[in-house]
Structure 1
Amino acid sequence: MPSIKHFLFLVLFVLSCSCKSSRNLVYFSDLQSTAISQTPIENSTEPKIQTNDLLSISLSSLNPESNILFNSGMLLPANNNNSSSLYKVNEGYLVDKNGEINFPVMGKVQLANLTIEEATEKMTTLIKKYVKNPIVNVRFINFKVTVIGEVNRPSSFTISSERINILEALGLAGDMTAYGRRENVLVIREKNGVRTAARINLNNKEVLNSPFFYLQQNDILYVEPDNKEKLSQTNLVNRYIPIFVATITALAIFFGNARK
């Protein structure tokens, strides 16, 4: 029937007009698929201790009394004859606004702007004045990043390795949704009393060399939604076009069979 065919053509025309151009959902889409790209890693930096960081500082030595003394709030386990056991601090040491921690026996110790390795060396040197051959372990307790916006599982994540990049953070959050704008991801960072906001394009391979590719403690990653894309998906015309097409197709088949 010509009328059915004409109506079907009209519906398909409306469908084609309502369809948006496809969005680029591929990370680093400008990387050649057949080539090997190698660049030296120059943007990876060790995180430095900042104010309000919470540190775990543990001591192991051959002297059980020193272990108890410097591992604040800890006691030897019952029936433990191994005096070199490693003791862990439960609550940790808070870096105050002056960049100092309050450590047993030694009092205030300046650790701000040091890497974990540098802080470990400094604490080891200081404790050697009181303990022979100490083994000191310093770690972040509150090294976390927050991922929000158009991701499947927005949340704050505590990082045990103290090293994470943007892709790993997105992986923890279940990756972006289809509505996430990969070309306009916002990183918010607070460091030394300065708040920095930077936008990066994850469609572009150059982000691999960005100083914001590797995240630091307390960074916030915000994935901006594509509101136009969302709006098009909720548009009534787009919502009911598949139903119209299915209905007209069924009618065309029905009347086509009826004419035979």
Structure 2
Amino acid sequence: MELFQKGLDSNVATYQYKELKIKAGDNLQVNVFTQASNNQEQTAVINMGGVGKSSGLYSVNNLGQIEFPKIGLVTAEGMTVRELKALLQSKWSPFVKDLLVNVQLQNITVNFLGEFNSPGAKIFTTEKITLIDAIAAAGGLNDDGKRNDILVIREEQGQRKIYKVDLRDAAFYNSPVYQLQQNDLVYAGIGDSKFRQRGFQEFTQKTAPILTFVSFFNFALGIAILITTLSK
């Protein structure tokens, strides 16, 4: 069975990826460089900041802020990586001559539940994560997966929004969740026919001991009636 309608390939080729917004809880790798020999000590101070004070890995706190050496707290939530890079460049420039700043989002996590071959949390190292790429990383949908009812749950401005996607329709390319974001949750339900089949199997498994007991009881009752009849 074809997963997508014709026309999706051409759409993907021209898709314009969006820059992800930094969120509370994100990890960012921040490193600075300079060619000025007399500024190497200053760059080392910045590069040794962050988690563990040795890696240049910084976490966004629950207020959306990051504390950096030399410049203190910076509100990063809601900014793109490019915007934060420009801000840090301007704030650190007075301390380091000929400064270059590199900023990268680290460990972008997407969670998968339901009828995937490999559900669970998947970590990506790029901001350009499409729903198709992510499903492939989760091993694809299993045979029971409902391809016309994929749910993507996303937190936006403190509110959870649920998006429904039909993978059989190329129009999902225009969905806001075609490009996934950090901490998105993707859920694949079970198909209706498979649900009924699985439900019947579970029902028979659960009721088998009861039916066995009832059958034994009826058999014993029949024997008792037969003995009573013959003894008369």
TM-score in same-fold range (> 0.5): yes
Aligned to 2:107: 142
Matched, 1:55 2:28: yes
1:174-212 Cα offsets, whole Å, 9 max, x none, are: 110111000000001112212111111111110011111
How far has the Cα of 1:235 moved from its partner?
6.1
Q: Is 2:209 the counterpart of 1:218?
A: no
Q: Deviations over 1:5-56 (max 9, x none)?
A: xxxxxxxxxxxxxxxxxxxx43223x279xx855895663210111121111
Given that 1:151 and 1:173 are in contact with CA atoms closer than 8 Å, whether structure 2 keeps it comes out as yes
Q: Using a 3 Å threshold, how does the CA distance of structure 1 residues 210 and 172 change in structure 2: closer, same or farther?
A: same
Q: Which of 165, 174, 177 lines up with 1:209 in the alignment?
A: 174
Q: Flag structure 2 segments of 5+ consecutive residues without an equivalent.
A: 202-232
Is the CA contact 1:43–1:210 (under 8 Å) kept in the aligned structure 2?
A: no
Give runs of aligned pairs for residues 1-260 of structure 1, distance below 5 A.
25-29=1-5, 31=6, 37-38=10-11, 41=14, 44-62=17-35, 63-73=39-49, 90=55, 92-226=57-191, 228-232=193-197
The answer to whether the Cα contact below 8 Å between 1:147 and 1:156 also exists between their aligned partners in 2 is yes
Are the equivalent residues in 2 in contact too, given 1:147–1:169 (CA < 8 A)? no
Going from structure 1 to structure 2, the CA distance change for 1:160 and 1:39 (only over 3 Å counts) comes to closer
Change over 3 Å in CA distance of 1:233–1:94 after alignment to 2: closer
In structure 1, runs of 5+ residues without a counterpart are 1-24, 75-87, 237-260
Give the Cα–Cα distance (whole angstroms) in 2 for the partners of residues 39 and 152 of structure 1: 24
CA distance in 1 between counterparts of 2:25 and 2:55 reads 17
Amino acid at match of 2:18: T
- Give the secondary-structure state (helix, strand or coil) at the position aligned to 1:197: strand
Q: Please, what TM-score do these two structures have when normalized by structure 2?
A: 0.75
Q: Give the TM-score normalised by the residue count of structure 1.
A: 0.68
TM-aligned CA distance change 1:26 to 1:216, over 3 Å: same
The 2-side partners of 1:27 and 1:119 are apart by: 39
- Number of positions where the alignment pairs a residue of Structure 1 with one of Structure 2: 196
Task: Tell me how far 1:213 sits from its aligned partner.
Answer: 0.6
Structure scoring higher RCO (CA < 8 A, sep ≥ 6) equals 1
Q: SS of the counterpart of 1:169? A: helix
Provide the identity percentage.
29
